[in-house]
Amino acid sequence: MMFRYALRGRGDLAEWRDAARGFIAAGIVPDIIEWRTMDDADGLFGFDDNRLPEPSPHYRPASVPPAFIRLAEAVICHSDPTRFALLYRMLFRLLHDRNLLQIASDEDVVAAQRMAKTIGRDYHKMTAFVRFKELPLPEGVAGRRRFIAWFEPDHFIVKRVAPFFERRFNDMDWLIATPKGSASWDGTTLRSSDDPADKPDLRDETDDLWRIYYASIFNPARLKVKMMTKEMPKKYWKNLPEAELIPSLIANAEAQVLDMARRAASQPLPFHHRLQEAAAQVPEPDRAPAGTLAALKEEARSCTRCDIYCRATQTVFGDGPVDAKVMFIGEQPGDQEDLAGRPFVGPAGKLFNEVLAEVGIDRQSLYVTNAVKHFKYEPRGKRRIHQKPNMGEVRQCRWWLTQEIELVKPKLVVAMGATALFSLTDMRQRLEDVRSEPIAMEDGRVLFVTVHPSYLLRIPDEGRKAEELARFREDMNRIKRLAA
């Protein structure tokens, strides 16, 4: 025996759901139900057929995954007459196979997903291509502005899309009329109907401005008509005010490009020459007196001695009082230092500050700098991975470090890590061999070597990390005594 069931079929899931529930309750297999829409059903068979079978006594109400309901809500809007049967078949199969929806390559799942995708596209195109036209208020009447649009969707989506327009166009009254229903908003209530509406006769002067914009934003040198029609198919053109320009824009594109070529490079207007003269007369900004730390810093801003500079954000010069007794030298700025333009402000800088505070050294009294003044790194997705500067780069950058030392004249120079040590002594030594002891330098200064705080951050083992941190703290205590 065949069951026949007719639905209004205008995008309402509830009517299908009620019927489907009835068939499921009676255990009816999909093959023996013939689903129709009422429009098609007229005359073929009467509404008498629209009766649901008696529920089976063994029936226990079954649930479906929420993903199926979401899918069905979209599929039901499709105008394909097979949608009811497809959904019922899936519902029936879901009772035995809960994972059905995850089998993305299953024939029914593919068909339903394809319909849902079509609905998504129709929805999206409606949000894109509805064009409101203003219906001016009668003269002397104050109130909310009123707008009307005519649109022709392929599927029964008006009710589904209406909330989008409410969220967007809240402070004006609007009505969207379509052959598949209409929706309206008056500031308090969102109404929708699935009755076909008539096309209103509308005109809006602002469309002229929009057409001017559309024609002017088009670049005739990059004609790609296929790309346009793929995203804005011709079926939408009749209701888009700008579309009437398309044929002439395409036809004139080549001539426009040729015209551009012909008009190439004319003589600039006087305006340009006045600007150039004015720019030439702008006095050089005040410079710090030569031979000072400020002047050196200024000069270092445009350093191009090695190739790192154009990959980094900026030169990160030393920071601290010009008469500091102690100078700390690290390796190179990191990610945070590169952005902020100041040394030791990132994670290693935080650790450095913490240890200084613990042993009672005032960071403000120190001159803190790096052996290399630009950040060297390797981009890895959204991050930058630190790269060790090579010997050539360290040697080039020594130019700046040497002058910093000469100007600040610190009593004690602290090299944190091997790169700083190499920069100061040109020797590649094991850190352990020279660490923690004051070393007399040729110029009468004292050198002290310790590890770089970022080394401490990289130790994975917590126990060892604590040990190393304690050693670093001891070093800082020695530095404090040496500086006193």
Partner 1 sequence: MKRSLKERLAILSDAAKYDASCASSGTVKRSSSGSGGLGSTEGSGICHAYAPDGRCISLLKILLTNFCIYDCAYCINRSSSNVERARFSPEEVIWLTLEFYRRNYIEGLFLSSGIIRSSDHTMEDMVRIARELRTIHNFRGYIHLKTIPEASAHLIEEAGLYADRLSINIELPTDAGITQLAPEKRPDNIRRSMGDLRLKIEDMADPTLQTKRRRKFAPAGQSTQMIVGADGANDATVLGTSARLYGSYGLKRVYYSAFSPIPDSSKNLPLIKPPLMREHRLYQADWLYRFYGFEIGEITSGGTDGMLDLDLDPKLAWALGHRERFPVDINKGEREALLRVPGLGTKSVKSILSARRFRKLRLEDLKRLSVSLKKVQPFITAEGWTPHKLVDRTDLRAMFQPKPEQLSLL
Per-residue contact flags (x/-) with partner 1 for residues 378 to 397, judged by CB under 8 A: -xxxxxx-------------
Q: Considering the complex, what minimum distance in angstroms separates the CB of residue 196 from partner 1?
A: 22
Specify the 3-state DSSP secondary structure of 346.
coil
Rule CB under 8 A: is residue 227 a binding residue for partner 1? yes
**Span interacting with partner 1, options 8-16, 106-114, 321-329, 414-422, rule CB under 8 A:** 106-114
Q: Which range binds partner 1 by CB under 8 A, 168-176, 316-324, 436-444, 447-455?
A: 168-176
Q: What is the DSSP letter of 319?
A: B
Pairwise CA distance, residues 48 & 50, whole Å: 5
Q: Does 52 bind partner 1 (CB under 8 A)?
A: no
Among 44, 225, 294, 470, binds partner 1 (CB under 8 A): 225
Q: How many residues bind partner 1 (CB under 8 A)?
A: 94
Q: Which stretch of DSSP H or E encloses residue 123?
A: helix 107-129
- Give the C-alpha separation, 27 to 292, whole Å: 93
Is residue 175 within 8 A of residue 192, CB to CB? The reply is no
Site for partner 1 in 444-483 (CB under 8 A): none
Contacts with 212 (C-beta within 8 Å, 6 or more apart), sequence order: none
Q: What is the C-alpha separation between 374 and 137, in angstroms, rounded?
A: 64
Contact string (CB under 8 A) for partner 1, positions 147-166, x = contact: x-x--------------x-x
CB of 194 to partner 1, least distance (A): 22
Residues in the chain: 484
Q: How far is the CB of 443 from partner 1 (least distance, A)?
A: 33
Q: Are 296 and 404 in contact (CB under 8 A)?
A: yes
CB–CB of 221/257 below 8 Å? yes
Select from 464, 319, 462 the least CA-distant residue to 404. 319
- Min dist CB 128 to partner 1, Å, is 5
Contact between 377 and 350 (Cβ < 8 Å): no
Phi-psi region of 274 (alpha: psi -120 to 50; beta: other; left: phi over 0): alpha
Q: Which stretch binds partner 1 (CB under 8 A): 69-77, 225-233, 323-331, 358-366?
A: 225-233
Of 429, 401, 359, 397, which is closest to residue 437 (Cα–Cα)? Answer: 429
Q: Is the distance from CB of 370 to CB of 330 less than 8 angstroms?
A: yes
Query: What does the alpha-carbon distance between residue 214 and residue 242 come to, in Å, rounded to a whole number?
Result: 7
Q: Say whether residue 234 binds partner 1 (CB under 8 A).
A: no
Q: Which residue, 178 or 423, has its beta carbon nearer to partner 1?
A: 178
Q: Does 93 bind partner 1 (CB under 8 A)?
A: no
Q: Residue 398, Cβ neighbours under 10 Å: how many? A: 17
- CA dist 154 and 119 (Å) reads 9
Report yes or no: 123 and 151 within 8 Å, Cβ to Cβ: no
Shortest reach from residue 264's CB to partner 1, in Å:
5
- Residue selected from 25, 26, 202, 253 as contacting partner 1 according to rule CB under 8 A: 253
Specify the stretch interacting with partner 1 by CB under 8 A; choose among 11-19, 78-86, 169-177, 475-483. 169-177
- At closest approach, how far in Å is the CB of 407 from partner 1? 23
CB of 195 to partner 1, least distance (A): 23
Under 8 Å between Cβ of 150 and 174: no
Q: Return the range that interacts with partner 1 (CB under 8 A); candidates 32-40, 71-79, 220-228, 360-368.
A: 220-228
Q: Who's near 247: CB < 8 A, 6+ residues apart?
A: none
Q: At closest approach, how far in Å is the CB of 342 from partner 1?
A: 12
Window of 4-12, 167-175, 357-365, 456-464 that interacts with partner 1 by CB under 8 A: 167-175
Q: Which of residues 60-79 bind partner 1 (CB under 8 A)?
A: none
CB of 411 to partner 1, least distance (A): 34
Give me 97's structure tokens. 């196979």
Residues 113-142 that bind partner 1 (CB under 8 A): 124, 127-134
- Span of 14-22, 52-60, 254-262, 413-421 interacting with partner 1 by CB under 8 A: 254-262
Dihedral angle sign, alpha carbons of residues 27, 29, 30, 36:
negative
Contacts (CB under 8 A) with partner 1, residues 331-350? 335, 338-341
Element (H, E) at 264: none
Among 29, 95, 103, 137, binds partner 1 (CB under 8 A): 103
Binding status of residue 224 toward partner 1 by CB under 8 A? yes
Q: Between residues 277 and 443, which has the closer beta carbon with respect to partner 1?
A: 277
Residues 260-299, interacting with partner 1 (CB under 8 A): 260-261, 263-269, 271-272, 275-276, 279
Note whether 186 binds partner 1 by CB under 8 A. Answer: no
Residue 445 has φ and ψ, to the nearest 5°, of -80, 165
